Amino acid sequence: MSAENTLKTPILVLGATSLIGTFLMARLQAAGHEPMGLSRRPPGGDACWIDADLRGDDLAEQLPGAATVFALSPIWLLPDALPALKARGMTRLVAFSSTSRFTKEASPEASERAVAKALADAENAVEAFGAEHGIAWTILRPTLIYAEGRDGNVSRLAGLIRRFKVLPLSGTGEGLRQPVHADDLAAGAIAAATAPAASNRAYALVGGETLAYRDMVRRIYEGLGRTPLIAPLPPWLFSLLLTLARPFFPGATAAMGARMSQDLVFDAADAVRDFGWSPRDFHPRF
Greater confidence (89 vs 255) lies with 89
pLDDT of residue 43: 63
- DSSP character for 181? E
Interval 251-279: pLDDT, tens? 677 678 889 999 999 999 999 999 999 99
> Structure pTM?
0.94
pLDDT of residue 244: 81
Mean pLDDT along residues 187-208? 98
- For the chain, which domains are there? 3-147+180-208+265-275 (3.40.50.720), 154-175+211-259 (no CATH)
- Split at pLDDT 50, 70, 90, the class of 221 is very high
Q: Give the sheet arrangement for strand 36-38, strand by strand.
A: 48-50, 36-38, 11-14, 68-71, 92-96, 136-142, 201-205
- Split at pLDDT 50, 70, 90, the class of 3 is very low
Q: Which has the closest alpha carbon to 176: 145, 213, 207, 204?
A: 213
Mean pLDDT along residues 123-150? 98
